[in-house]
A and B are shown apart, each in its own frame.
Chain A
Amino acid sequence: MKGVKQKQEMTRDLIILGIILIIMLALLSVFPDKKEIVFSTSWDFFIEMILILPAVMVILGLFAVWVPKDIVVKHLGKASGIKGIFLAIILGALPTGPLYVAFPMAAALLEKGAKISNIIIFLSAWACIKIPQEMVELQFLGVKFMFLRLILTIIFVIIMGLFIEKVMKVRNA
């Protein structure tokens, strides 16, 4: 099931790549004077990415094998208060997979009776403050941008979690 989906995604990406390549070749044959700037820009970005992405993948791979999936459900199931929020952020920020991997975990947490605020905070941290992601952000956008976005995101994600919890309580009451 998972393998089929990955293969489909790969095929889709390769088709898009083919289309983009054709567009690039067409554009460059009409405007040959742009060749140099397009190639040098693409090359610069390629180098910058290739310097860090293999390392990021290694870190992701290590975490995937060493950190068991049920660690999240085990620790976040009963945690509450400040400790719960803190745990939700830390566990969400661990370098592990795309967001849709986290949905089943969140569902298991819901079933276990974990606080909705913590589940939302966990999902949001998973989505946008993952550790390897922050490293890439640091590389491309600089330390100021990275830290400011990190701090603001943490603050607002906590507010959002608490707000959604209130809304769900009112609606289910």
Chain B
Amino acid sequence: MNFTAIIINGIAIISLLIAFVKDKRKTIKSLKIAGKSFIRILPMIFIIIIIIGLLLGFLPPYQISRFVGEQSGILGILLVGAIGALMHIPALLSFPLAASLLEEGASVSVVAAFIITLTMIGTITLPIEIKELGRELALLRNGISFVIAIFIALVMGVIL
């Protein structure tokens, strides 16, 4: 068990204890919500780990890095950024996927672009966003988010 995992579990346990002392019924309700969300995310967890296993098992690193490694340049970043914008998976699960890509020789910029577009841009939820906030605001937010995602990705590639 690594350091981060210990910290996160520590925070969860301490918060849970404090909550339990304060209000038993509310805490049980929280745990029920937590259990339900966990069950809901479970199929996606299995999908992601199988994809990672197949990815790392079948695609040799030089294949992956040819498409999304350093030498793929801005085109690779734009491509993966676009994929991230179209995909609809929980942000929590984008990080292990990103880590496996990094392990396989994808560049830092590509991985950063993927995470940022995946979280900030919602193509599937765009109709809801337009309905709630208006066409102008929704399109501006998603469009400019894509631009800043690419920009942040490039800066991260230079620094890291």
Contacts and interface: CB of A to CB of B under 8 A. Distances in A.
B92 A136 contact: yes
A132 B115 CA distance: 15
A100 B90 CA distance: 12
B159 interface: yes
Nearest to B22: A66
A58 B15 contact: yes
B78 interface: no
Interface of B is mostly: helix
Given A24-B54, A139-B95, A53 B45 contact: yes
Contacts, number: 226
Interface string A152-165: 11001101100110
Interface of A is mostly: helix
Given A51-B1, A135-B8, A65 B29 contact: yes
Q: Could you say which interface size class chain A belongs to?
A: 35 or more
Nearest to A48: B96
Contacts of A152: 152, 155-156
Contact of B133 (A55, A110, A139): A110
Q: Could you say which interface size class chain B belongs to?
A: 35 or more
Given A45-B100, A160-B144, A55 B11 contact: yes
Interface of A: 6, 9-10, 13-14, 16-17, 20-21, 23-24, 27, 31, 34, 37-39, 41-42, 45-46, 48-49, 51-62, 64-66, 98-100, 103-104, 106-107, 110, 116, 119-120, 123-124, 127-128, 130, 132-133, 135-141, 144-145, 148-149, 152-153, 156-157, 159-160, 163-164, 167-168, 171
Interface of B: 1-2, 4-5, 7-9, 11-13, 15-16, 19, 26-27, 29-35, 37-38, 40-41, 43-54, 56-58, 90-93, 95-96, 98-100, 102, 108, 111-112, 115-116, 119-120, 122, 125, 128-129, 132-133, 136-137, 140-141, 144-145, 148, 151-152, 155-156, 159-160
